[in-house]
Amino acid sequence: MNGKVWLVGAGPGDPSLITVKGLHCIRHADVLVYDRLVCKELLAEVPAGCEMINVGKTPNNHPIPQDEINQILVAQALMGRNVVRLKGGDPYVFGRGGEEVETLAQSGIPFEVIPGITSAIGGLAYAGIPVTHRDHASSFHVITGHLQQGKDPQDWPTLAKLQGTLVILMGMSQIETICQQLIEHGKAASTPAAAVMCASHQVQKIAQGTLATLPQDVLREGIKSPALIVIGNVVQLQKLLQFTPTVMQLDEMIDLSTLAEAF
Ligand code: SAH
């Protein structure tokens, strides 16, 4: 009999932000397929004998091609195993989760998707930035800073006109272009802006300034990938709304035995 693939969102970093259902899946996995944004505390939750497959980077530091990852999931499920595909944040937010599940669906492999807290919202919250606020932003836009090769460049005139909070993922290598293009196409250079590195991890770090100063602020504070770039008036609330999160151990969290029948 075929196994099943559970596509699980790990949340932004703090391991206790995973869902109850996601943690239960990890604790019952026969094989765990994971990549680099997943924290080690969650990896430690697998049962004894669970096979661990790291598809983040090959030993010579090249990413494993997406087709190959898709085929690993299919092959493992065809062996009758409970496969957990664990991804940082939410699996459908720039995580290529859609591509993986497409392959499973086309191959007739049973699957389930367990959403996670995306860094684009939850990561900002941990940094003291509410993605919307009645006084500051009535919409938000989550944008990738990294485009697939051969695709059109960003539509800067449209992005610059948006009034809501802009959250840019995978944008650190392009931060100067991003800030400069938004200003050139009409966004005020004085718009508050920040970059949050390793949001919700214990090493979380923030650089703050304006659209005009952010590239230098980031350099000064030593902010590197993985980081979120956030542009909009909600950034002004950061100093007031920042907090120190309680550290929770996963086994203190909850008795998961009630979910056991699902497996
Ligand atoms: N599926 C993920 C995003 C994957 S794309 C999610 O929902 O969060 C990877 C990008 O996400 C990184 O380059 C970075 O921009 C952002 N990211 C993910 N986790 C982050 C974190 N803890 N802190 C800051 N940025 C993060």
Is residue 261's pLDDT more than 60? Answer: no
Using the mean position of ligand 1's atoms as its centre, give its distance from the Cα of residue 198 in Å. 8
Q: What is the pTM of this model?
A: 0.94
- Both tokens of 222, joined, read 């030593």
d(CA 97, CA 8): 9
* Residues with catalytic function: 35, 57
Question: Per residue in 89-136, pLDDT tens?
Answer: 999 999 899 999 999 999 999 999 999 999 999 999 999 999 999 999
Domains and CATH numbers, the chain: 4-118+247-258 (3.40.1010.10), 128-241 (3.30.950.10)
Using omega within 30 degrees of 0 as the cis cutoff, is the peptide bond preceding 153 cis?
Answer: no
Residue with CA closest to ligand 1 atom 18: 119
Ligand 1 closest atom vs CA 145: 15
Q: Contact at 8 Å (CB) between 3 and 27?
A: no
Beta bridge partners of 209: 193
Question: Per residue in 237-257, pLDDT tens?
Answer: 999 999 999 999 887 665 555
Q: Which of 140, 228, 229 to mutate to test the pocket of ligand 1 (most atoms within 8 A of CB)?
A: 228
Ligand 1 closest atom vs CA 229: 15
Using the mean position of ligand 1's atoms as its centre, give its distance from the Cα of residue 78 in Å. 31
CB atoms within 10 A of CB 103: 18
Beta bridge partners of 228: 196
Q: What is the mean pLDDT of the chain?
A: 93
Question: Per residue in 84-100, pLDDT tens?
Answer: 999 999 999 998 999 99
Question: Per residue in 42-63, pLDDT tens?
Answer: 999 999 999 999 998 766 677 7
